[in-house]
A and B are shown apart, each in its own frame.
Chain A
Amino acid sequence: MNTEKNIKTLIVKKPLKLDCGKTINNFPVAFETYGSLNENKDNAILVFHALTGDQFVTGLNPITKKDGWWSFAVGPDKAIDINKYFVICSNVIGGCMGSYGPSHKDPETQKTFGTDFPVITINDMVNAQYNLLEHFGIKKLFAITGGSMGGMQVLQFITNFPDKAKTVIPIATTSSHSAQNIAFNELGRQAITADSNWKDGNYETNNINPGKGLAVARMAAHITYLSKKGLQEKFGRKLQEREDLKFGFDADFQIESYLRYQGSVFVDRFDANSYLYITRAMDYFDLVKQFNGNLSDAFKNTKAKFFIISFTSDWLYPTQENKDIVIALNSIGADVGFVEIVSDKGHDSFLLDVPDFLNALKNFLDKSYTELKNEK
């Protein structure tokens, strides 16, 4: 394990066969932990991050110097209480926060991988992260959770390792990436690859960055994370530091300025090739197809307790797609709870201060943990 540049890394020695057919070994999985693992090692929660997240779940992210992506939910006395639980989160492979990804050097050629990095899947991501359980000597996680792509990893993890988690909390997610979501991801990828600085993915060798393309990708995606009502209430037609329209193409409207800002700060912290790889992994995710059209079969070997959460204004991963998971679980008599939270903050609701959501999450975890303790 090395702790260079504030990044903790586990080097996985065991070969991992990827879905694309290639095998990787001696690869790094970057992770962070919060709270402490108790003596019985029964208080661990594995959190999976979404498309643009990383292992720095809460507190100050030492790389970006901003709050961790799930600071509202994870922390002392918060929904995921780190006074009580040991939280582990790792950067997905294909990512750009220390885990094996396209910005790493190919050990054979010593050149940056770029698009020579193998295409990875959600399945590959969770198989890589599974090594952390062995690293910490955890036989069974108390909980696994995550929203959006994090939720996909939750579903895949419990499918692959049915007896490795006591409770399973997929949030604002899907069991099969929809055509609409693939379309939005493709839009983002096209923006990146259309940037002349992308250079077929070899921009790092040329010391340039397809920043404009990546920013456009982020802007388009960002719109999909919000709701129409939320946008209208926050921005409406308000103008950006001006009295009237300027009859030009500067950012007249606050929403334009906001999106441009979101795009520009994203470029500073995210790698364009990683964006291509991770969106591809999401598009390839189809747990229904993995089980020949019967999603229930994915969960038939697990005794875990599921709790699924969706949000009313989330049109990217709408309630119905979350309910499909509930239905699949009910049809095999699994222990599953479900709630749809009222929020006008869109898909991003799971990252924000939405009290009904945070209370539900906290209550579910704390009650389940008390039950676990009483069983013993």
Chain B
Amino acid sequence: MKNEFKVISDLIEDNKKVLDVGCADGTLMQFLKENKNINVRGLEISKEKVQECIAKGLTVIEGNAEKDLKQFPDKSFDYVVLSQTLQAFLSPELVLDELLRVGKKAIVTIPNFGNWKVRLHLLFKGTMPITKSLPEQWHSTPNLHMCTIKDFVNFIKSKEIKMIKTLALNNNNVSNITNNNLGTKNLFADLGIFLIEK
């Protein structure tokens, strides 16, 4: 299981109710279910991935987060997880609002467009950056709204969303992001992981 999922799972206490939005093949869900006795549901747009989840005995609903989150009642989950997908929505702001409506807390992770490798790629090659966490060409990427860790922190602050925990993941090292080190983390982290609530 990738390190990101270990970090996410450490943020969630045992026996909670969790919705994994864009749960893919259910790797995180299965881990949460088996190791933390978590009552976990998934929402996934890909039919193939939904089938993989069913084969693992996971409860998954085929659907689109931008349309289908509205069917869940307010605060019906302890945590709603959204892993590296926010940038792929037509309207990330609306999805974020929905996550915080449906979940008492949300865990959102974003690939960091501010990472130095990304910056250098654009600066020296003059083409859209391709990295480990951004593997697709500009014309085939699902990412519509790339942002940096700094962008996301500013956005969260502007929306008066409470940041409970902000973590940077860099080469499997996890560290806290603070006001003092934001610039550095924004340069070196591959991934930002945010535990937020409204």
Contact = CB atoms under 8 A, between A and B. Distances in A.
B197 interface: no
Interface string A310-347: 00000000000000001100111101111111100000
B72 A338 contact: no
Given A330-B71, A356-B51, A363-B54, A338 B61 contact: yes
A363 B55 contact: yes
Interface string A335-376: 111111110000000000000100110011001101100000
A330 B57 contact: no
B178 interface: no
Contact of A364 (B41, B54, B61, B73): B54
Contacts of B59: 305, 335-337
Interface string B45-87: 0010011001111011111000000011100100000000000
Contacts of A333: 73, 76
Interface string A90-104: 000000000000000
A360 B51 contact: yes
A360 B49 CA distance: 12
Contacts of A341: 47
B61 A337 contact: yes
Nearest to A359: B51
B71 A331 contact: yes
A337 B57 CA distance: 10
Contact of B62 (A305, A338, A359, A363): A338
* Most chain B CB atoms below 10 A, which of A307, A339, A359, A367: A339
Contacts of A330: 61, 71-73
- Chain B binding site: helix, strand, loop or mixed by DSSP? mixed
A148 B71 CA distance: 24
Interface string B142-165: 000000000000000000000000
Contacts of B76: 333
A340 B63 CA distance: 9
B54 A331 contact: no
A335 B58 CA distance: 10
Contacts of B72: 330-331
A339 B71 contact: no
A332 B61 CA distance: 15
Nearest to B53: A337
Given A338-B62, A363-B54, A368-B57, A326 B47 contact: no
Interface residues of B, number: 17
Nearest to A338: B61
Contacts of A367: 54-57
B60 A337 contact: yes
A66 to B, nearest CB: 31
Interface in B12-60: 41, 47, 50-51, 54-57, 59-60
B51 A327 contact: no
Given A327-B71, A330-B61, A337 B54 contact: yes
Interface in B119-134: none
A201 to B, nearest CB: 45
A338 B41 CA distance: 11
A339 B51 contact: yes
Given A340-B62, A360-B51, A371 B71 contact: no
A340 B60 contact: no
Contacts of B50: 339
A339 B57 contact: no
A331 B61 contact: no
Given A331-B72, A333-B73, A360 B54 contact: yes
A135 to B, nearest CB: 31
Nearest to B63: A338
B159 to A, nearest CB: 26
Contacts of B62: 338-340
A326 B70 CA distance: 12
B71 A326 contact: yes
A307 B54 CA distance: 10
B32 to A, nearest CB: 15
Contacts of B54: 307, 337, 339, 360, 363-364, 367
A305 B39 CA distance: 13
Nearest to A366: B57
A339 B61 CA distance: 6
A302 to B, nearest CB: 15
A364 B57 CA distance: 6
Contacts of A338: 60-63
Nearest to B77: A333
Given A330-B71, A339-B47, 5 more contacts: A337-B60, A359-B51, A360-B51, A367-B56, A370-B57
In the A-B complex, list the 6 residue pairs whose CB atoms are closest, starting with the nearest: A367-B57, A327-B71, A363-B55, A338-B61, A330-B71, A337-B59
11 contacts: A305-B59, A330-B73, A332-B73, A336-B61, A338-B60, A339-B50, A339-B54, A339-B62, A356-B51, A363-B54, A367-B55
